[in-house]
Amino acid sequence: MIFNSLTFICFFIIVHLVYALPLSWEKRKIHLWLSSYIFYAAWNPPFVLLLWISTLIDWFAGKNIARTSSRHKKRILLLISLATNLGLLGYFKYGTFLLESFVSLSEAVGIHYQPAVSHIVLPVGISFYTFQSLSYSLDIYRGKLKPWPKFTDFAFFVTFFPQLVAGPIVRAADFLPQCRVSRRATSYQMGWGLTLLVLGLFEKVILADTIMAPVADMVFSNSDLSGTADAWLGVFAFSGQVFFDFSGYSLCAIGAALSLGFVLPDNFRFPYAAVGFSDFWRRWHISLSSWLRDYLYIPLGGNRKGELRTYINLMITMLLGGLWHGAAWTFVAWGGLHGLYLSVERYLLKHLGDVEFFRKRIVQGMLGLLTFILVSITYVFFRAQDFPDAFHLLTLMFSTGELQLLSFSQSLQVAVTLGLLLVGQWLLRDSSLEALATAVPPAVRVVLIAGALVTLSLHRGGDRAFIYFQF
């Protein structure tokens, strides 16, 4: 069940109708909890068992970590939580990848090994809900959180359907306190939540799937027929597609939750207006980047153990962040490039950070554009099927190929949409969508939302899943 489908719209209306009944708070929470299982089971019912396993293991691990005074026992309990969540993630997401890598390595040293055919199916959203559930036991172990008294609240937190399969990755400390008292959306929350839902669907269906995706797919699938201009436009189209797709999902998730009275954290803050790569990761997929910072980078030592160790920690964090995104070496390369960017940026800031010239607004704008271009180059590895395809496209981007694959109208469509995206994000980089909406006259807001709804209703294209569902 995906947000851009008639099935979800019917499901969402039914959930709201039952939630609006004069039931006790406990019964309404259970209603949302069970509805979330139905939402997830719509993909593959047996995989609900994986949700139960993560939920039960982390619930009991967290409770017993807090109970025992033995440091040794705490570590054993945490290891059980880590082994369960990462073991499930490793088997289902990386089992086939590791087996294929082993076979390739064996072939490279002259050993011919032919394993049985693997039929592992990737459960949708496993990367998200395992990290979310795991953060509960990690926070209790670190003394940042006390065990929650109600198991049903914790299970509801792990499975809450708006963000279950593609984030934002919510922390227990942010969500569980919202379960204490009865919640119903205020008229403002309902209105703004539904507005975000419509805006997210518009980003996904119209901007990502209709405008950007066809151009990106054409170039990445037919790079042999592309010229240099085509290659750059295809890569920039994917930059727009992946933003509109994932930002669209996040807006849908935040809006759906808000319409029920629950507040989820922002996941994007105009990332293509970032000046530098540390700024980019403070704005892009914030829930994941902050998770990696708090549970990986800082425990590794962060920047507390000297310059060399800092660079190593950055690289390890980004390499694993790349692998989190997908079971392929191309994703590791994508993460490695970001690690390299962050390391070089850190070195330059140390030696040139106080130079006044770089603080001028026009220079900041140029650095922001350079950041976007360099980030877009990393997307070649994110989108390409394999390294030969990635290197071929990169070679094409930095050569003078004269072939032309894209039509003038396709090129213009991508250029105009991307230009508006970059200018809009730059103007709003220190603001928010909510502040912008507040500044717009109510009549204009109504017309814009009505226009978006009409456009969506006239447009097919609800059959393309969100990109991050595969992660």
Reported as a single tens digit per residue, the pLDDT across 376-427 is 999 999 999 999 999 999 999 998 877 788 889 999 999 999 999 999 999 9
- The two structure tokens encoding residue 19: 């939630």
Q: Is 396 exposed, middle or buried (CB count within 10 Å of its CB: 0-12, 13-18, 19+)?
A: buried
Count the Cβ atoms, other than its own, within 10 Å of residue 148: 21
Residue 212: pLDDT above 90? yes
The CA radius of gyration of the chain, in Å to the nearest whole number, is: 23
More confident residue, 464 or 43: 43
Residue 298: pLDDT above 70? yes
More confident residue, 226 or 122: 226
Residue 100: band (very low, low, confident or very high) from pLDDT cuts 50, 70, 90: low
**pLDDT for 96:** 74
63-72, 111-120, 309-318: which range is least confident on average?
A: 111-120
Reported as a single tens digit per residue, the pLDDT across 60-97 is 999 999 999 899 999 999 999 999 999 998 888 877 77
Reported as a single tens digit per residue, the pLDDT across 5-33 is 888 889 999 999 999 999 999 999 999 99
Q: 168: cis peptide before it, omega within 30°?
A: yes
The region that residue 301 occupies, defined by phi over 0 for left and psi between -120 and 50 for alpha, beta otherwise, is: left
**pLDDT for 44:** 84
- Known active-site residue 338: no
Catalytic position from the list 112, 119, 325, 459: 325
**Look-up: residue for tokens 């090129």?**
411
- The two structure tokens encoding residue 111: 């050993």
- Is residue 156 within 8 A of residue 29, CB to CB? The reply is yes
**pLDDT for 470:** 66
pTM: 0.91
- Nearest Cα to Cα of residue 196 among 172, 163, 173, 165: 163
- What residue segments make up the domains of the chain, in order of their start? 19-182, 189-470
109-118, 152-161, 428-437: which range is least confident on average?
A: 109-118
**Sign for the pseudo-dihedral over CA of 283, 126, 135, 378:** negative
**pLDDT for 118:** 64
More confident residue, 389 or 113: 389
Residue type, 218: M
Calculate the average pLDDT of the chain: 89
Rounded to whole angstroms, the Cα distance separating 129 from 223 reads 36
Percent of the chain scored above 90 by pLDDT? Answer: 68
How wide is the angle at C-alpha 268 spanned by C-alphas 292 and 278, nearest 5°?
50
Reported as a single tens digit per residue, the pLDDT across 250-274 is 999 999 999 999 999 999 999 999 9
**pLDDT for 312:** 94
Residue 108: pLDDT above 80? no
**pLDDT for 84:** 93
Rounded to whole angstroms, the Cα distance separating 172 from 137 reads 10
Residue 3: band (very low, low, confident or very high) from pLDDT cuts 50, 70, 90: confident
Rounded to whole angstroms, the Cα distance separating 427 from 418 reads 14
**pLDDT for 462:** 53
- Is residue 263 within 8 A of residue 439, CB to CB? The reply is no
List CB contacts of 192: < 8 A, sequence separation 6 or more: 255, 258, 434, 437
Mean local confidence (pLDDT), 334-345: 95
Rounded to whole angstroms, the Cα distance separating 392 from 225 reads 12
